[in-house]
Copies of this chain bind each other. A is one copy, B any other.
Amino acid sequence: MFDYKLLAALAAVIEQGGFERAAQVLGLSQSAISQRIKLLEARVGQPVLVRATPPSPTEVGRQLLNHVQQVRLLERDLQRQVPALDEEGMPERLRIALNADSLATWWAGAVGAFCAQQQVLLDLVVEDQEVGLKRMRAGEVAACLCGSERPVAGARSLPLGSMRYRALASPAFMARYFPQGFAVERLARAPAIVFGPDDFLQHRYLASLGVQEGFLHHLCPSSEGFLRMTEAGLGWGLVPERQVAEQLARGELVEICADTPIDVPLYWHHWRNGGQLLAQLTDHLRHSARQWLVPL
């Protein structure tokens, strides 16, 4: 068998983002952590970490982490069958990567009851889809919720449904930029709000209306900030419909061009041998997500 003390040290350094915090979490000195990492590197015959701030795993380090993640999930199953094994009596942690808009809207509602009942603690990581899957491949997360369908090796992907977005703006913004009512040709000069350089939803929306040119935009990498900026009249932007039911009902936000939603599909990526807890969460999500998402 592997020496799991060494692997646990590696996992802690990556998950905690440094040697000092890893030492705290494991209740060891920083030099003990260093020693374990060095010993692990001596055994595998090559570096497992890139010593940067924060440290990152090498290719072989990634493979080891991937293994640790899966072993941990299997251990949990065993602890349930043989409760005496569970020496610490601590709730299990699940590390999950997901997109910002899911976390800002439906995620907590869909998993809240499950986590409370199962006493699971969540380590959530907000990532765009490609990065989320990269973390999955690297074994840094147990599951990933994103817009990519294709699973990584060893994992499955489950379609959960789509988030429906609407292009919204404040009435003041509409009066300023579209005084004669909405007109496609004025859209590129009316500032949009874009989540970040990888967010092409506004581009897709414009393309669907036949606008191909560049457009003015703010960058705002926060779901809640995005909505606040839309409400404050700084720009128009595509916002999850469920996030703004009240603002739409009160007329504080309006759809810039009537009834032109965009649906974004979401897939749940989970390890095939991820253990019982992950399988149960997957089952739970398969049903609970339906309340919050539109069918694919």
Q: Which residues of A contact B (CB under 8 A)?
A: 16-17, 21, 90-91, 100, 103-105, 107-109, 111-113, 115-116, 121-126, 173, 176, 191, 197, 216-225, 228-229, 231-234
Does A222 lie within 8 Å of B100, measured CB to CB? yes
Q: Which residues of B contact A225 (CB under 8 A)?
A: 100, 103-104, 107-108, 124, 126
User: In the docked arrangement, what's the CA distance between A225 and B123, Å?
Assistant: 12
CB neighbours (8 Å) of A111 from chain B are 232
Chain B residues in 8 Å Cβ range of A221: 124-126
CA distance A197 to B21 in the complex (A): 9
Count of identical protomers in the assembly: 2
**Contact A109–B234 (Cβ < 8 Å):** no
- For A219, what are the chain B residues with a Cβ–Cβ distance below 8 Å? 122-125
Q: How far is the CA of A223 from the CA of B173 in the complex (A)?
A: 26
Which chain B residues lie closer than 8 Å to A113 at the CB level?
232-233
Q: Give the nearest-CB partner of A246 in chain B.
A: B246
Residue in B91, B125, B216, B229 whose CB lies within 8 Å of A112:
B229
> In the docked arrangement, what's the CA distance between A126 and B191, Å?
20
Chain B residues with CB under 8 A of A125: 219, 221
Known: A191-B91, A233-B116. A228 touches B109 (CB 8 A): yes
- In the complex, what distance in Å separates the CA atom of A112 from the CA atom of B176? 14
Q: Are the CB atoms of B108 and A232 closer together than 8 Å? A: yes
Chain B residues near A229 (CB, 8 Å)? 108, 112, 122
Question: Beyond the given A103-B222, A115-B234, A122-B219, could you list 4 further A-B residue pairs with CB under 8 A, ordered by the A residue number?
Answer: A103-B225, A108-B231, A112-B229, A121-B217
